[in-house]
């Protein structure tokens, strides 16, 4: 082992196993992220000073929405991984597509699935779609934080070889010390992005500008993900698309541009 490399903390990905049933950190991360994001959204809608006089979702609306969002995240995340990252394999093994417990989830797919769920839910309830987008955007980094920690525990999505003092030798990543890119993502997509959005919500009152928080989240995630892609090893079945370009960067570029456009539109929109 190189002198400056840190040993990988051998945390068993399975918390508890009873016969064929197993509770994994990965599943627990999704559950914790969804529950905490839901509670944060409920907190936001109860703070009148953060909003203008236009209608907004109620806590009861959000209690029902969490089921729709969960389905959007799981179904969209899995289908996104199948379509974006490994279509050839799953065309040959279609019965494995529902096997989410084997790993393989795409944030971009989960994002699209959640957007689709929000569109349907807002239409069904007669809610403002932009209000729902803003609430979900403000809370989404919570789930991203826990999800990236679970990626680290699973020793997956690790980074490129490096000699930085905090490099880690992953058990399935060969003998080279590597960037802990999952922790980079947990910090940027989770902690930093949540802090920026919280500042926009609690200090700058951006929930009074429908769409601004949603645009800020989409743009912020795209920027954070694109930055970390320089340190993360792309999926083996895809590799680099061209030069340093990865699939993660390619999928994040439209998010950055869309997020900027939405923020500009929201800022110029009349109350």
Annotated binding site: 148
Q: How far apart are CA 72 and CA 91, in angstroms?
A: 22
Nearest CA among 248, 237, 92 for reference residue 182: 248
């Amino acid at each position: 082992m190189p002198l400056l490399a840190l040993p990988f903390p051998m945390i068993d990905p399975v918390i508890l196993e009873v016969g064929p049933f197993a509770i994994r950190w990965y599943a627990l991360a999704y559950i914790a992220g969804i529950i905490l994001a839901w509670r944060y959204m409920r907190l936001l809608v109860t703070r009148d000073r953060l909003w203008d006089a236009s209608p907004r979702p109620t806590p009861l609306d959000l209690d029902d929405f969490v089921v729709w969002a969960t389905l959007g995240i799981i179904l969209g995340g899995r289908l996104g991984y199948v379509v974006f990252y490994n279509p050839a394999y799953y065309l040959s093994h279609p019965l494995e597509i529902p096997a989410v417990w084997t790993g393989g989830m795409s944030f971009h797919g989960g994002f699209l699935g959640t957007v689709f769920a929000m569109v349907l839910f807002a239409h069904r309830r007669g809610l403002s779609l932009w209000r729902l987008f803003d609430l979900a955007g403000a809370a989404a980094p919570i789930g991203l934080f826990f999800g990236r920690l679970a990626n680290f525990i699973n020793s997956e999505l690790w980074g490129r070889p490096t000699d930085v003092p905090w490099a880690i030798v992953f058990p399935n990543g060969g003998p080279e010390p590597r960037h802990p890119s999952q922790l980079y993502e947990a910090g940027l997509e989770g902690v930093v992005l949540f802090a920026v959005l919280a500042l926009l919500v609690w200090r700058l009152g951006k929930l009074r500008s429908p769409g601004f928080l949603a645009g800020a989240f989409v743009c912020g995630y795209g920027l954070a993900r694109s930055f970390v892609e320089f340190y993360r090893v792309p999926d083996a079945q895809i590799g680099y698309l061209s030069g340093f370009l990865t699939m993660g960067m390619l999928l994040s570029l439209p998010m950055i541009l869309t997020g900027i456009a939405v923020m500009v539109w929201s800022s110029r929109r009349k109350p």
